[in-house]
Amino acid sequence: MKMKISPLINKLASLSMMLIISTFGLKAQTNVFDDVIATSPNHTSLAAALQQEGLDAALQNPMGTFTVFAPDNAAFDNLAAALSTDIAGLLANPALSDILLYHVLGQTVPAANVTNGAIVTPLNPVNTLKLTATSMGSVYVNQAMVNAADLTAANGVVHSINAVLLPAETVVDIAIDNGFSYLTEAVVEAELLPALTDPLSALTVFAPTNQAFDNLATALGTDINGILALPNLADVLLYHVVGGTVLSTDLSNGLVSTLEGSDILVDLTTDVMINDATVTTADVTADNGVVHIINKVLLPGTAAINELENNTIAVFPNPSFDEIRFNAASNSSFEIVDANGTTVKKGTSLDGKVTISDLEKGNYFIKIGEGETISLGKFVKM
């Protein structure tokens, strides 16, 4: 006959086991600070920061449930270098407590539970955290990559990361907060959140509206899901991004290189035009750059061709209804290209004139060949 052990005896047995563990110097798992952060040789800067701000006590709470994104020592060193200071300078930052709380969630989130594009609110709710799970198996929180995941304790989990997170408003926040849902979905799908959420970068984004994406989908005979499935989606999006902060007052006529590698063409002749898109709202500033809202999705390769970058030519009248003129030798070859990169007309100009009455309204580029020289002009057909 089997003997029944009462719950009280079970409890006493459990307590006895804890006493035996303690007696022999073994430590039971208790909390994310003592068991993970404080014992890690790669997170001494984080441990010092948490202790200084008194946040170690909160993470030692056995009744709490936490996920800590823990910047390693190299992450703190890199931030210090970027801010022209040292670890002591970072520890003296009056916003340090807010920065640290921006790394903590009030729930346990294992790496396997991270979904691409998830937006979560940390204990410092001044800004959200944007999560990326890439097709290659990497996990990012904002711009920081998880370099050691699922370091568990009784009251939560720690994910080591390679950068310090700052609760800055980035160009991604501008898109999210202003209803650019299709642009945001595209950025998530292309796994570009880490690049665009870097608080220490400087970016200029020409942001197409939802209507602009709908118009492109219609032109391609698809819908937004078809746009998101484009194999060159990342290239299309990076074609909308310029390195550096370029305000509207900094813009001038000419070609500008994008992060995709191709050029966009800025034209201030009438409205502010980027290729054939109009800037409808300019200078929406973020902590890591500026956003200009445009009414059309830009497509790579539609602004100009590399061999045309050396020479530009004035086209007049501009805008024009029926004819354009330019200063060129007689018998100059020409080619007119629309904003989508399609050649719509070509021939030879005998007197520096070309009839355009047969063209539809819109923005065009004209390539003019004079011997070995090729020049580029831009005009608007009214």
The secondary structure of 92-122, three-state, reads CCCCHHHHHHCCEECCCCCHHHCCCCCEECC
Residues 119 and 183 in one domain: no
Interval 147-192: pLDDT, tens: 999 999 999 999 999 999 999 999 999 999 999 999 999 999 999 9
Residues 209 and 254 in one domain: yes
Interval 273-324: pLDDT, tens: 999 899 999 999 999 999 999 999 999 876 544 433 446 778 888 778 888 8
Residues 47 and 145 in one domain: yes
In a domain, 62, yes or no: yes
Interval 36-59: pLDDT, tens: 999 999 999 999 999 999 999 999
Long-range contacts of range 238-241, CB-CB < 8 Å, 24 or more positions apart?
238/192, 239/264, 239/298, 239/299, 239/300, 240/205, 240/206, 240/207, 240/208, 240/298, 241/196, 241/203, 241/204, 241/205, 241/206
Number of structural domains in the chain:
3
**CATH number for position 326:** 2.60.40.3080
**CATH number for position 138:** 2.30.180.10
CA distance 187 to 190: 5
CA distance 282 to 266: 14
Residues 177 and 200 in one domain: yes
Residues 87 and 34 in one domain: yes
Residue at a domain's end among 246, 272, 294: 294
Q: For the CA atoms of the chain, what is the radius of gyration?
A: 29
Residues 274 and 344 in one domain: no
In a domain, 16, yes or no: no
Residues 342 and 311 in one domain: yes
Residues 119 and 179 in one domain: no
**Cα–Cα nearest to 200, from 166, 161, 234, 250:** 166
Residue at a domain's end among 107, 140, 161: 161
Range of the domain at 55: 28-161
How far is it between the farthest Cα atoms of the chain? Answer: 114
In a domain, 136, yes or no: yes
CA distance 188 to 302: 24
Residues 280 and 376 in one domain: no
- Residue range 237-257: mean pLDDT, rounded: 92
In a domain, 90, yes or no: yes
Residues 72 and 116 in one domain: yes
In a domain, 50, yes or no: yes
Residue at a domain's end among 260, 294, 328: 294
Kindly indicate the confidence band of residue 344, based on its pLDDT and cuts at 50, 70 and 90.
confident
Amino acid found at 372: E
In a domain, 224, yes or no: yes
Kindly indicate the confidence band of residue 341, based on its pLDDT and cuts at 50, 70 and 90.
low
**pLDDT confidence of residue 165:** 98
Residues 314 and 258 in one domain: no
Residues 142 and 185 in one domain: no
In a domain, 8, yes or no: no
**Cα–Cα nearest to 269, from 206, 318, 321:** 318
With a cut of 50, say whether residue 14 has pLDDT above it: no
In a domain, 17, yes or no: no
